[in-house]
């Protein structure tokens, strides 16, 4: 019998000057970047949390603590690759991802296909299994004031 599980992830990072903006594993030209211990890729972090949650394996901070020097400025694609490795060691495989990035600026729609392709390569899955959407918060709240970017992810994983 196939076991099917779902997981949900959320992450937020502040926008600050003098940092690169990494989203969905790609560098995007923008005047501000995301602040964090790693490269602060909110989309990848939300996906990692969703995957770990679906497999009942805690969260990204448990596996990759921001108190560990090894993760300082780390490329979040490495964290995603390692998260998939943990899941596969437990017998799970990715079904699909449905994710949303919430940011006023920059506009992300033209970057989404590259994000999908990049994430698919990191996870060794079909890009069609990764849905990424972009929205704004209509100038409301911290995202609306361009103080930060948030991301949400829902995943489905299976085990035979």
61 known ligand binder: yes
142 known ligand binder: yes
Closest by CA position to 115, among listed 32, 23, 9, 11: 23
**Secondary structure of 33-86 in the HEC alphabet?**
EECCCCCCCHHHHHHHHHHHHHCCCCCHHHHCCCCCHHHCCCCHHHHHHHHHHH
58 known ligand binder: no
145 known ligand binder: yes
75 known ligand binder: no
45 known ligand binder: yes
131 known ligand binder: no
CB 8 within 8 A of CB 84: no
49 known ligand binder: no
Task: Identify whether 119 is preceded by a cis peptide bond (ω within 30 of 0).
Answer: no
73 known ligand binder: no
135 known ligand binder: yes
41 known ligand binder: no
CB 4 within 8 A of CB 158: yes
121 known ligand binder: no
37 known ligand binder: yes
3-state secondary structure of 149: strand
Binding-site residues from annotation for a divalent metal cation: 11, 13, 45
Binding-site residues from annotation: 11-13, 37-38, 45, 59-61, 135-138, 142, 145
């Amino acid at each position: 019998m196939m076991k099917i599980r779902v997981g949900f992830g959320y992450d937020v990072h502040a926008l600050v000057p003098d940092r690169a903006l990494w989203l969905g594993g790609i560098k995007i030209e923008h005047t501000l970047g995301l602040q964090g211990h790693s490269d602060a890729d909110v989309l990848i972090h939300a996906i990692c949390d969703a995957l770990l949650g679906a497999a009942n394996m805690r969260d990204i901070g448990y596996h990759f603590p921001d108190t560990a020097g090894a993760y300082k400025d780390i490329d979040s694609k490495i964290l995603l690759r390692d998260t998939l490795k943990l899941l596969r060691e437990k017998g799970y495989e990715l079904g699909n991802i449905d994710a949303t990035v919430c940011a006023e600026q920059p506009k992300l729609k033209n970057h989404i296909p590259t994000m999908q392709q990049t994430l698919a390569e990191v996870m060794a899955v079909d890009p069609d299994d990764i849905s990424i959407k972009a929205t704004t918060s209509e100038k409301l709240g911290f995202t609306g004031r361009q103080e930060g970017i948030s991301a949400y992810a829902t995943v489905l994983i299976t085990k035979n």
